[in-house]
Amino acid sequence: MASESQQQHYKKLKLLLKELPWYVEEYIDHKRRKLSAASLLNYCHDYKIFFNWIVSEQLFTDEPKNIPLDLLEKLTVQQVEGFLYALEYELNNKEITVNRKLSALKSLFNYLQNIAETKDLKPYIQRNVMAKIEFNEIKESMETIANKMEGKILLGDEYERFRRFVAHDYGETIQDNKKRQNFYKLNQERDIAIISLILGSGLRLSELVNLDLDDIDFSKYSARVIRKGNKEQYVFFSKIAMDDLQEYLKIREKRYHVDKNNKALFVAAPMGPKGKSRRLTARSIEKMIEKYAKAFGKPALSVHKLRHSFATRYHSEINDVPKLRRQLGHSSIQTTMIYTHIRNDDLRSAVDKMDIPKE
């Protein structure tokens, strides 16, 4: 069963596809079983930029959704390079972002040339210009990326200090603001549970948002998540994260007036005339982290930076890249290797070394 977040993505996807050529919808249907709704939506945003560019360059004089297949077949290498140039220098996309958009286009064009067939069993396009386009070489080394990341994540004793700050010390910084004090007290257990879970597992924001009560295995200290590509996986988390989560669950139903049919793990306080609690949104979690990070004196912290913080500490304790790759859900081990280049002097107390109780 699709989560609320996935359902919202599919609604947005359906609307966006109306602005794109028919063969894009066919391609998306082909990919629907293999990719998440969020990934498909990102692909379509990339395609919209590309097809709008074709119209803006007057390569086609009608609406983008009417661009025919034969136009794609006739695009030159120089024209596609011009599009990539516009992405980087006019839209200020980073090289890695340009590569991602190019990858999306390569996948679409490959489908049109090598997978899709007409009634006569012929490919939709004979010539695939995207096959001739090379990806940008990413100039930054792993060391450079790691060094940039290092100042924006939690290292050493900051890891536990930030958790304790959210759990206790933040309240002291807002003593003069009764409204903020009340809001903090209302959500204190929930907020620390969220932060502990990210710091104790490295979950992505989307994975955290979509967690249901039934996804938590309390005996194995693990959570069932749907990773990129709609892959189901059980992700382990630390004992501290479990302790904080159980403290939140003690007050979840009564404090948030949770309907018994609401299985969302993290919920927001009731709002509106009906007064029903609802699943906490991704943006709400982002804003919550931003609030605590700023008060802590490390405003660059974000949900993703907390995930990086977990990965850095895990590597310093466990020093097992394949296991870390699986824990983070990386498709490429090269992405995981970045954490081997980050210095971390705190080798004493990490994620309980992912200690799992014996059954």
Mean pLDDT of the chain: 85
According to the model, what pLDDT value does residue 2 have?
Answer: 55
pLDDT value at 1 more than 60: no
Question: Which pLDDT score is estimated for 346?
Answer: 40
pLDDT value, residue 117 = 94
Active-site residue, 9 included: no
Q: What is the pLDDT at residue 254?
A: 92
Return the axis-axis angle of helices 95-114 and 77-89, rounded to nearest 10°. Answer: 150
Any catalytic annotation for residue 256? Answer: no
Q: Which of 1-5, 272-276, 353-357 has the lowest mean pLDDT?
A: 353-357
- pLDDT tens digits for range 113-123: 999 999 999 99
Segment 218-233 shows an average pLDDT of 86
Q: Cβ contacts of residue 293 below 8 Å, gap of 6+?
A: 299, 300, 301, 302
User: What is the set of domains in the chain, with CATH numbers?
Assistant: 4-139 (1.10.150), 144-354 (1.10.443.10)
Catalytic residue among 9, 190, 204, 298: 204
Q: Classify burial at 27, counting beta carbons within 10 Å of its beta carbon; exposed 0-12, middle 13-18, buried 19 or more.
A: buried
Query: Any idea what DSSP says for residue 311?
Result: H
Is 30 one of the catalytic residues?
no
Average pLDDT of 162-177? 90
d(CA 237, CA 223) in angstroms, rounded, equals 8
Percent of the chain with pLDDT over 90: 53
Mean pLDDT of 197-224: 92
Of 190, 278, 307, 315, the catalytic one is 307
Backbone angles phi, psi at 130, to 5 degrees: -65, -25
Active site residue 339: yes
Catalytic residue among 101, 163, 227, 330: 330
**Does residue 350 have a pLDDT over 50?**
no
Does the active-site annotation cover 307?
yes
Catalytic residue among 127, 180, 239, 304: 304
Catalytic residue selected from 32, 100, 127, 228? 228
Angle between helix axes 37-56 and 22-31 (nearest 10 degrees) is: 160
Query: What average pLDDT does the segment 270-282 reach?
Result: 81
Out of 227-236, 270-279, 290-299, least confident range: 270-279
pLDDT: which is higher, 347 or 276: 276
State residue 227 phi and psi, 5-degree precision: -90, 180
The secondary element (H helix, E strand) that includes residue 286 is helix 282-296
Identify the pLDDT of residue 356.
42
Tokens in use for 347? Answer: 């080798």
Confidence of residue 354 (pLDDT cuts 50, 70, 90): very low
- Least confident among 74-88, 246-260, 297-311: 297-311
Mean of the pLDDT values across residues 178-203?
A: 93
Q: Is the per-residue pLDDT at 258 higher than 70? A: yes
User: 0.85 cut: is pTM over it?
Assistant: no
Would you place residue 147 in the very low, low, confident or very high pLDDT band (cuts 50, 70, 90)? low
Question: Does the pLDDT of residue 22 top 90, yes or no?
Answer: yes
For residue 276, the model assigns a pLDDT of: 80
Please confirm, yes or no, whether 330 is among the known catalytic residues: yes
Q: Which of 27, 159, 256, 339 is catalytic?
A: 339
pLDDT at 144: 56
